[in-house]
Copies of this chain bind each other. A is one copy, B any other.
Protein backbone atom coordinates (compact mmCIF):
# COMPACT_ATOMS: atom_id res chain seq x y z
CA UNK A 1 0.00 0.00 0.00
CA UNK A 2 1.47 3.33 -1.05
CA UNK A 3 -0.04 6.60 0.19
CA UNK A 4 0.93 9.94 -1.32
CA UNK A 5 0.50 13.55 -0.15
CA UNK A 6 -0.24 16.58 -2.33
CA UNK A 7 -0.53 20.07 -0.83
CA UNK A 8 -2.17 23.21 -2.15
CA UNK A 9 -4.24 26.18 -1.10
CA UNK A 10 -6.83 25.48 -3.83
CA UNK A 11 -8.13 29.06 -4.12
CA UNK A 12 -9.84 27.62 -6.12
CA UNK A 13 -9.15 24.02 -7.17
CA UNK A 14 -8.40 24.19 -10.92
CA UNK A 15 -7.55 22.02 -13.93
CA UNK A 16 -3.83 22.38 -13.24
CA UNK A 17 -4.33 20.67 -9.88
CA UNK A 18 -6.64 18.20 -11.53
CA UNK A 19 -4.13 17.18 -14.18
CA UNK A 20 -1.40 16.69 -11.62
CA UNK A 21 -3.58 14.71 -9.24
CA UNK A 22 -4.86 12.48 -12.04
CA UNK A 23 -1.28 11.55 -12.89
CA UNK A 24 -0.15 11.11 -9.30
CA UNK A 25 -3.14 8.91 -8.58
CA UNK A 26 -1.76 6.33 -11.00
CA UNK A 27 1.26 5.89 -8.72
CA UNK A 28 -0.46 5.50 -5.36
CA UNK A 29 -3.15 3.46 -3.70
CA UNK A 30 -4.40 6.34 -1.60
CA UNK A 31 -3.91 10.07 -1.96
CA UNK A 32 -4.06 12.73 0.75
CA UNK A 33 -4.92 16.25 -0.41
CA UNK A 34 -3.83 18.73 2.28
CA UNK A 35 -5.65 22.05 1.99
CA UNK A 36 -3.21 24.67 3.27
CA UNK A 37 -3.90 28.03 4.95
CA UNK A 38 -7.18 26.47 6.03
CA UNK A 39 -8.01 29.32 8.40
CA UNK A 40 -7.91 31.94 5.63
CA UNK A 41 -10.97 33.01 3.63
CA UNK A 42 -12.74 36.17 2.54
CA UNK A 43 -9.40 37.67 1.42
CA UNK A 44 -8.44 38.74 -2.12
CA UNK A 45 -5.90 35.91 -2.39
CA UNK A 46 -7.92 33.45 -0.31
CA UNK A 47 -11.61 33.90 -1.04
CA UNK A 48 -12.86 30.40 -0.16
CA UNK A 49 -13.27 28.75 3.23
CA UNK A 50 -11.61 25.46 4.07
CA UNK A 51 -14.98 23.77 4.00
CA UNK A 52 -15.73 25.02 0.50
CA UNK A 53 -12.32 23.83 -0.65
CA UNK A 54 -12.88 20.39 0.91
CA UNK A 55 -16.06 20.20 -1.15
CA UNK A 56 -14.29 21.29 -4.37
CA UNK A 57 -11.56 18.69 -3.92
CA UNK A 58 -13.97 15.92 -3.00
CA UNK A 59 -16.32 16.59 -5.89
CA UNK A 60 -13.51 16.90 -8.43
CA UNK A 61 -11.83 13.73 -7.24
CA UNK A 62 -15.01 11.70 -7.28
CA UNK A 63 -14.42 11.47 -11.04
CA UNK A 64 -11.12 9.71 -10.42
CA UNK A 65 -11.15 6.30 -8.85
CA UNK A 66 -8.37 6.79 -6.30
CA UNK A 67 -9.20 6.58 -2.60
CA UNK A 68 -8.50 10.05 -1.21
CA UNK A 69 -8.57 12.21 1.95
CA UNK A 70 -9.20 15.98 1.73
CA UNK A 71 -7.77 17.50 4.93
CA UNK A 72 -7.72 21.19 5.88
CA UNK A 73 -4.46 22.24 7.57
CA UNK A 74 -4.16 25.59 9.37
CA UNK A 75 -0.94 27.61 9.13
CA UNK A 76 1.60 27.11 11.91
CA UNK A 77 3.59 30.36 11.36
CA UNK A 78 6.96 28.67 11.90
CA UNK A 79 8.55 27.11 8.86
CA UNK A 80 10.81 24.90 10.93
CA UNK A 81 7.75 23.11 12.38
CA UNK A 82 5.57 23.13 9.30
CA UNK A 83 6.39 19.66 7.95
CA UNK A 84 5.88 18.06 11.38
CA UNK A 85 2.60 19.94 11.72
CA UNK A 86 1.32 18.64 8.38
CA UNK A 87 2.46 15.12 9.24
CA UNK A 88 0.46 15.24 12.48
CA UNK A 89 -2.74 16.36 10.77
CA UNK A 90 -2.94 13.72 8.03
CA UNK A 91 -2.79 9.90 7.90
CA UNK A 92 0.70 8.41 7.56
CA UNK A 93 2.07 8.69 4.00
CA UNK A 94 5.01 7.39 1.98
CA UNK A 95 5.82 10.25 -0.34
CA UNK A 96 5.11 13.93 -0.97
CA UNK A 97 4.57 15.14 -4.52
CA UNK A 98 5.74 18.72 -4.96
CA UNK A 99 7.66 21.08 -7.24
CA UNK A 100 7.71 23.85 -4.65
CA UNK A 101 11.31 24.35 -3.44
CA UNK A 102 10.32 25.35 0.11
CA UNK A 103 7.89 22.45 0.54
CA UNK A 104 10.51 20.11 -0.87
CA UNK A 105 13.17 21.47 1.46
CA UNK A 106 11.04 21.35 4.61
CA UNK A 107 9.90 17.77 4.04
CA UNK A 108 13.41 16.62 3.16
CA UNK A 109 14.72 18.15 6.41
CA UNK A 110 11.99 16.09 8.12
CA UNK A 111 13.37 12.99 6.32
CA UNK A 112 10.25 12.52 4.19
CA UNK A 113 10.74 11.41 0.53
CA UNK A 114 9.66 14.04 -2.00
CA UNK A 115 9.06 13.39 -5.69
CA UNK A 116 8.58 15.95 -8.43
CA UNK A 117 4.95 16.36 -9.29
CA UNK A 118 3.96 16.34 -12.96
CA UNK A 119 4.11 19.65 -14.82
CA UNK A 120 1.16 21.57 -16.24
CA UNK A 121 0.69 24.98 -17.87
CA UNK A 122 1.24 27.09 -14.74
CA UNK A 123 0.55 30.42 -16.38
CA UNK A 124 -2.87 29.45 -17.66
CA UNK A 125 -4.03 27.24 -14.83
CA UNK A 126 -3.28 29.27 -11.75
CA UNK A 127 -5.34 30.51 -8.85
CA UNK A 128 -3.98 34.02 -9.34
CA UNK A 129 -5.08 34.08 -12.97
CA UNK A 130 -8.51 32.67 -12.16
CA UNK A 131 -9.11 35.21 -9.39
CA UNK A 132 -7.95 37.99 -11.75
CA UNK A 133 -10.49 36.82 -14.32
CA UNK A 134 -13.25 36.64 -11.75
CA UNK A 135 -12.54 40.24 -10.72
CA UNK A 136 -12.37 41.60 -14.26
CA UNK A 137 -15.48 39.76 -15.46
CA UNK A 138 -13.62 37.49 -17.90
CA UNK A 139 -14.34 33.80 -18.47
CA UNK A 140 -12.92 31.50 -15.79
CA UNK A 141 -15.21 28.45 -15.70
CA UNK A 142 -13.21 26.62 -18.39
CA UNK A 143 -10.16 26.65 -16.09
CA UNK A 144 -11.77 24.58 -13.33
CA UNK A 145 -13.64 21.27 -13.29
CA UNK A 146 -17.36 21.66 -13.91
CA UNK A 147 -18.19 20.47 -10.39
CA UNK A 148 -15.95 23.20 -8.94
CA UNK A 149 -17.52 25.93 -11.07
CA UNK A 150 -20.89 24.78 -9.75
CA UNK A 151 -19.75 25.06 -6.12
CA UNK A 152 -18.26 28.53 -6.70
CA UNK A 153 -21.49 29.71 -8.23
CA UNK A 154 -23.60 28.20 -5.45
CA UNK A 155 -21.67 29.98 -2.70
CA UNK A 156 -21.61 33.26 -4.63
CA UNK A 157 -17.85 33.06 -4.87
CA UNK A 158 -17.32 35.69 -7.55
CA UNK A 159 -19.47 38.22 -5.75
CA UNK A 160 -17.64 37.50 -2.51
CA UNK A 161 -14.24 37.87 -4.15
CA UNK A 162 -15.26 41.24 -5.56
CA UNK A 163 -16.43 42.45 -2.15
CA UNK A 164 -13.26 41.41 -0.35
CA UNK A 165 -10.96 42.66 -3.12
CA UNK A 166 -12.70 46.06 -3.22
CA UNK A 167 -11.57 46.39 0.37
CA UNK A 168 -7.99 46.72 -0.74
CA UNK A 169 -8.49 49.88 -2.78
With A58-B69, A71-B71, A72-B71 as known contacts, state yes or no: A51 contacts B88, CB within 8 Å.
Answer: yes
Asked if residues A69 and B70 are in contact (CB atoms below 8 Å), the reply is yes
A3 to B49, CA, bound (A): 18
Contact with B along A64-108 (1 / 0, CB 8 A): 000001111010111111001101111110000000111111100
Q: Using CB atoms, name the residue of chain B closest to A56.
A: B91
Please tell me which stretch of A130-138, A141-149, A159-167 contacts chain B, meaning at least 4 of its Cβ atoms lie within 8 angstroms of it. A159-167
With A84-B84, A87-B51, A90-B51 as known contacts, state yes or no: A163 contacts B41, CB within 8 Å.
Answer: no
Contact with B along A36-79 (1 / 0, CB 8 A): 00111111000001111011001000000000011110101111
With A54-B69, A72-B72, A90-B54 as known contacts, state yes or no: A41 contacts B101, CB within 8 Å.
Answer: no
Asked if residues A101 and B58 are in contact (CB atoms below 8 Å), the reply is no
Q: From residue 4 to 44 of chain A, which have CB atoms closer than 8 A to chain B?
A: 38-43
With A80-B49, A101-B163, A164-B101 as known contacts, state yes or no: A42 contacts B106, CB within 8 Å.
Answer: yes
With A71-B71, A166-B102 as known contacts, state yes or no: A88 contacts B49, CB within 8 Å.
Answer: yes
A105 to B155, CA, bound (A): 13
What is the interface of chain A, defined by CB distance below 8 A to chain B? 38-43, 49-52, 54-55, 58, 69-72, 74, 76-81, 84-85, 87-92, 100-106, 111, 155, 160, 162-164, 166-167
